[in-house]
A and B are shown apart, each in its own frame.
Chain A
Amino acid sequence: MSENQTAEARQDMAEPQGMSPRRRAQLVRTVQYVVLIAIILVLAIKMDWPRIGNRMFNLQVIGNLMPRLPLALLNTLKYTAGAFVIGITGGLLLALMKLSSVGPYRWIAHIYTEFFRGIPALVVVLSVGFGVPMAFGIKIPSIWAKIAISLGVISAAYVSETIRAGLQAVPKGQVEAARSLGMSHTSAMIHVVIPQALRIVLPPLTNEFIMLTKDTSLVYALGLMVPEFELTKLGQDSLNSAQAGLTGMVVVGVAYLVITIPLGFLARHLEKVQQKRSA
């Protein structure tokens, strides 16, 4: 039987072959390059470049915006940081509740998570900004508090899942080793599990910070005074001038990227370190 198979295999390979897989891959790649270059050429020739420059990168508009940019950037970061702190604190608490041996704690934490992951952020922002103060007469003192609470309670739902996964990713043997040395459950959590889980969740938490940075733009819905302007509101404000065009949006877009791109690099770097360590 094996002789037979050998003969068949020889015969199969002896038959005339078509284009080799390597040649075929090369051809496909060449076609892709040709298409790309064609598109670039058409754009370069057909586009009205002076007009685009004027509408998207208008130096006068940029000049007007620049003095107001630092404060807006700072406000964006401030709103983000507030939300992040609430998100992390709430998330850790919810994660521990989800792993609790007390049933009702687990249910509450799960219901909370499902609820806030299921409704739009803007609904929460409007509720905290207007609904809750009107309904219950609670005064939330500042815009900062309003946006930080809104985004923070949502963030807590996502962060709790991240942290729970991180806690569960620490190998069971770690707890067993700690317990076999006489450490209590709590002590093993504090000294062995949580420090390792934090390293695991650092990259996803960095991504969460990036998400929050972008979500702070929702604060515009609450109506801002000039000193409270963050990046998006500043961009929107610039649309009021006649020659604004896209320039204001380009400026604030770049400002967001200045925050988010380095953080993205950081997250990916941490991920790599993480993988190396667990390998």
Chain B
Amino acid sequence: MVGKANKTSKAGSQAGPAELPPLAPDEVVRITGLRKSFGDREVLKGIDLTIREGEVVCVIGPSGSGKSTLLRCVNLLEKPTAGRVDLLGVDATDPDVDLDRLRTHVGMVFQQFNLFPHHSVLGNLMLAQRKVLKRPADQAKAVAMQNLEKVNMADRADSYPAQLSGGQQQRVAIARALSMDPALMLFDEPTSALDPELVGDVLAVMRDLARGGMTMMVVTHEMAFARDVGDRVIFLDDGVIQEQGPAAEVIGAPRTERARTFLRRVLHPTEIPETDLGETEPE
């Protein structure tokens, strides 16, 4: 991660409004009193969260608890109903902020990969570099190849997404996000749509990324990954952060009953509960 410090501060020159203290230099994300409703259904009910440079924060929680919504509020794909999101020193919830520019610094990886099917792997990695960052073709290509090396997909640069396995597509999607030189990477259940034997390759790429110092926010059901790679784990349930702390503590010795129930189900998914018929297992 050469030039990491620069990247984090390059969008950070403008200060946010006065009510809140400016982000400490090593704070990449600060979420304050975040609420989000769809219609009259409140999905996020007041979230406070700070992520520092180089930190890997894993978000766990049952299906429907609002994990994706929280992640999508960070890069403003979803507009918060109330509260504030500070990103790289800028108040991202300020209606006058240039969100397109801000998003170039925040990579996002989706559960369904969302590669562009009409572009080759290389085309996927070059499109935004060319159109948004206005990099010349040879530079965009060099950056793309470098990132494909990182995810072990350089030999498939000319393939089309439909010709790749899910695991390969997801690694390309990660390389595509990395090609923008982001200061923060968001992952929304990146391995949930994969066949079990393909999960490992993607997690390995993410682990290497974390070791390289990338700041990451990862929604995941992979508890082993959260425990081994995550610096901090957030347990989200019912739109509220129920519990958070070092990964080993939250996963190894959860304090709340909700977290204990959830973790038991995730860690022992084949254990069929006797009594609570009608409840669905988290996916």
B76-101 Cβ-contact flags toward A at 8 Å (1 or 0) = 01000000000000000000000011
Q: How far is the CB of A121 from chain B (nearest CB, A)?
A: 35
B132 touches A183 (CB 8 A): yes
A171, A179, A196: which contacts B103 (Cβ < 8 A)? A179
How far does the alpha carbon of A191 sit from the alpha carbon of B77 in the complex, in Å? 19
| 220-262 of chain A: CB within 8 A of chain B | none
Q: Is B151 an interface residue (CB 8 A)?
A: no
Q: Is B127 an interface residue (CB 8 A)?
A: yes
User: Of all chain B residues, which has the CB nearest A278?
Assistant: B117
Q: List the B side residues contacting A179 at CB < 8 Å.
A: 77, 100, 103
B75, B100, B102, B133: which contacts A184 (Cβ < 8 A)? B100
Q: List the A side residues contacting B118 at CB < 8 Å.
A: 195-196, 199
Q: Is B122 an interface residue (CB 8 A)?
A: no
16 contacts between A and B (CB under 8 A): A173-B110, A176-B114, A177-B110, A177-B173, A180-B75, A180-B103, A180-B177, A181-B127, A181-B132, A181-B177, A182-B133, A187-B132, A195-B118, A196-B116, A196-B118, A277-B162
Q: How far is the CB of B275 from chain A (nearest CB, A)?
A: 23
Q: List the A side residues contacting B112 at CB < 8 Å.
A: 173
How far does the alpha carbon of A173 sit from the alpha carbon of B169 in the complex, in Å? 14
| 144-173 of chain A: CB within 8 A of chain B | 171, 173
Count chain A residues whose beta carbon lies closer than 8 angstroms to a beta carbon of B.
19
Q: Is B268 an interface residue (CB 8 A)?
A: no
How far does the alpha carbon of A177 sit from the alpha carbon of B172 in the complex, in Å? 13
A182 touching B110 in the complex, CB below 8 Å, given contacts A187-B132, A196-B118, A277-B117: no
How far does the alpha carbon of A154 sit from the alpha carbon of B100 in the complex, in Å? 39
Q: List the B side residues contacting A177 at CB < 8 Å.
A: 108, 110, 114-116, 173
| 195-222 of chain B: CB within 8 A of chain A | none
How far does the alpha carbon of A272 sit from the alpha carbon of B133 in the complex, in Å? 37
